[in-house]
Amino acid sequence: MVKSAAVSGAGPAVLSELAVGDELSARRLVEIPVDGAPLRRELRAVWPTGQRPAGPARELLGLTRRGG
């Protein structure tokens, strides 16, 4: 949703380069470097109720979980 809003011109967004690589290549979005700004935020993993992450997603969560 955030990426779609940025592509449609709703405003700037801070997104992973992986998430917008195609849009950058196709010039639908433009990268603006930001120096000196501490862009820190808590990231969360989400998935549908009743399902558990599997494969690479599960491995990644295993590496990043706090508290075990």
Averaged pLDDT of the chain: 82
Query: What 3-state DSSP class applies to 55?
Result: helix
Sign, CA torsion 1/38/11/19: negative
Q: What is the tally of structural domains in the chain?
A: 1
| pTM of the full structure | 0.52
Q: How much of the chain exceeds pLDDT 70, in percent?
A: 90
Residue type, 23: E
pLDDT digits (tens, 9 = 90+) for 27-54: 999 988 777 777 676 767 777 888 888 8
Count of residues in the chain = 68
pLDDT of 33 reads 78
Residue 64 has pLDDT above 80, yes or no: no
Residue span of the structural domain in which 38 resides: 2-64
Q: How far is CA 62 from CA 31, 35, 51, 56, in A?
A: 31, 32, 16, 10
